[in-house]
Every structure is written in C-alpha cells, then in structure tokens.
Amino acid sequence: MRRSRLIALLVALLPVLVVVIFVGFPALMALTFSLGYTAGPNAPVAQLAQNLVTAEHGLTLAVYQTLLHDRAFLQDFWATIWVTLASVALILVTGWGLALYIRFSSGWFTHVVSSIYLVPLFIPVVIASYAIVTFWNANGYVSALAAKIGMHFPGFGYTLFGVVIGQIWVNLPFAVLLLASGLQSVPDALIEAARDVGATTPRILVRVIVPLNMLPTIIVATFTGIGVLGSFTIPFLVGPTAPALLGVAMTNYYQSYNQPQQAVAMAVIVFVLAAGIGALYVWANVVSDRKAGKLQ
C-alpha cells in the first residue's frame, strides 16, 4: 500500500518537476538577470550583452529605473496599455451585442451569425494580420472604395487602432462563445417574471441578465487583457514601428539592440501587469464560489 502511494506521488510529481526545471528555474534566472545578477547561468548572455547593469552587492533596480526614465519605453508602455484597454472594451461591447442577439433572436439569419463569428477561429493569425493590413491600409480595399466616391481614407494599417481591430478579430469568437454560453444559462422564467412586474428591456438587462452573466464577462475581460498584453504577431505585422507594443519592443531589444537585460525587465513588467489582471479573475471566482455556497 505504501509502495503504491509512493509510485502515485512520483507520477504526480513528474509534471511539477518538468515545470520547475524547464519553466520555473529559467524564469527565476531571468528575473535575477534583470536585477543585476550576471554570474552563474546568466554569465554567457551577460558576456555578449550591451548596456549591461551588474549589481556589485546583492541586486539592483537600476535596469527598471533606467527604463522608467526612457521616453521610448514609456511611449511603448502607454501604447500597450491603451491598446489593451481599447481592445477589451470593444470586445466586451461587441461580444455582448452578438451574444444577446444569438440568445434572444431566432430564424435563419441568427444561425448565419452564429456560424460567421466563429470564422476567425479557423484562420491563422498571420493570415488574418496580412488581410487586415490589405483591407484597412491607405492603399487597401476600403481606401479604393472611398476614392471611387471622391473621399480620402487614410487607412488603419500600421496604426495602433489597426492593432485593436486585429485583436478584436482574434479574440471575439472566444468572447461570444463564453458570453453566449452564460446567457443560455439564464432561466427564461426570471426574464418573464421581470416582464410580468413591468420591467423594461433595459432594466431586465441591467438588473437580471448582466449580474447573472458577470463571471463570464470578467473571464472574457481578463483573458483578453492578458492575451493582448503579451501579443506579438498582430502588433508586429499590423502595428506601427513606433510606438510599438511591449511584445514587439522586448523582441527588438533582445535581437536588434542586443540588450537582453532590458528585454527581460520588460517581460517582468508585462508579467506583473498580467498578474494584476489574473488577480481580478481569481477574485471573481472566489466571489462566485461564495455566492454559490462553496466557500465559507
């Protein structure tokens, strides 16, 4: 019996060991590298790095202090924040609109909409990014249509708003799937009861539907926010050269500028932002479990 438990424990520990060895230890070394520790496993990359900061005693925050006083980094940082907030907000608005239409409408057109919004799931992000640039660029399809009627369309290609459009394209199917699934779980009896007492449609939406679908909404917002923060393909192909999102900026610092320490510090900043968003997701789940009586 004891031998079986030991074998089961060892089998369960294998995934944990893999994560610790191949993810945890490299992440820890990267964190210490951004804090000025250039010895040990960090020595090979430190020998080739430019603008290296080495802590003489212990660790230092000099790399982060330099970044926070760098105008180019601050532009990239706030561009990333703006794109993330705009993408999350527009995805929530669009996702809620489509989910409500699918939930409370019927007919052949509803089935068409239910199929069309899933199309981005089956298109690679690279292909979608090039399609967005071709469609929204200053020399793209929309610009050609505008020129036909004597108007000038500057285009959204290679702009931050173009990145937002790309993020909506990529993340909208997941948002609608989750929101529509949550709306399907709202009992029709509650909606009919609210109508019987004279509640208008907007009041039913605000007081009944939205509170019952709050957890899926928070999940969509948090997962979308984390995904946009660390995205690379869409900002690289659709976005401008400057300011660039942090996913592109840290790649440039690592490959083009040969400054891996600064790139790792950017990655840590992105991780802290993502962890803050993840904390909101955890809080929402805890509140939901308490309301359901799973937690005391």
In a shared domain, residues 125 and 259: yes
pLDDT surpassing 70 at residue 292 = no
User: Which of 67, 82, 114 marks a domain boundary?
Assistant: 67
Domain-embedded: residue 184: yes
The full DSSP string for 4-30 is HHHHHHHHHHHHHHHHIIIIIHHHHHH
Q: For residues 25-35, give the mean pLDDT.
A: 91
Residue recorded with tokens 């992000």: 125
Quote the domain boundaries for residue 50. 1-67
> Which of the four pLDDT bands, split at 50, 70 and 90, describes residue 89?
very high
In a shared domain, residues 143 and 165: yes
Domain-embedded: residue 191: yes
In a shared domain, residues 84 and 56: no
In a shared domain, residues 84 and 203: yes
Q: Read off the CATH number of the domain in which 128 is found.
A: 1.10.3720.10
User: What's residue 94's pLDDT?
Assistant: 94
Angle at CA 76, nearest 5°, toward 235 and 166? 20
pLDDT surpassing 70 at residue 124 = yes
Domain-embedded: residue 227: yes
Domain-embedded: residue 106: yes
179 burial level (CB within 10 Å; 0-12, 13-18, 19+): buried
pLDDT surpassing 90 at residue 274 = yes
pLDDT surpassing 90 at residue 189 = no
In a shared domain, residues 77 and 179: yes
pLDDT surpassing 80 at residue 85 = yes
User: What's residue 155's pLDDT?
Assistant: 81
In a shared domain, residues 226 and 136: yes
User: What's residue 16's pLDDT?
Assistant: 86
Mean pLDDT of the chain: 88
Kindly state the helix (H) or strand (E) to which residue 268 belongs, with its residue range: helix 260-291
pLDDT surpassing 70 at residue 1 = no
In a shared domain, residues 35 and 124: no
In a shared domain, residues 171 and 29: no
Domain-embedded: residue 296: no
What digits encode the pLDDT tens for the residues 144-166? Answer: 888 888 888 888 888 999 999 99
What digits encode the pLDDT tens for the residues 209-230? Answer: 888 888 899 999 999 999 999 8
CA distances from 1 to 5, 13, 47, 48, 256 (A): 6, 18, 53, 54, 58
If one counts the domains in the chain, the total is: 2
User: Which of 67, 93, 111 marks a domain boundary?
Assistant: 67
Q: Where is pLDDT greater, at 151 or 289?
A: 151
In a shared domain, residues 9 and 125: no
Domain-embedded: residue 19: yes
In a shared domain, residues 26 and 149: no
In a shared domain, residues 45 and 91: no
Domain-embedded: residue 287: yes
Angle at CA 261, nearest 5°, toward 61 and 53? 55
Domain-embedded: residue 12: yes
Q: Are 163 and 133 in contact (CB under 8 A)?
A: no
In a shared domain, residues 183 and 217: yes
User: What's residue 294's pLDDT?
Assistant: 57
Percent of the chain with pLDDT over 70: 98
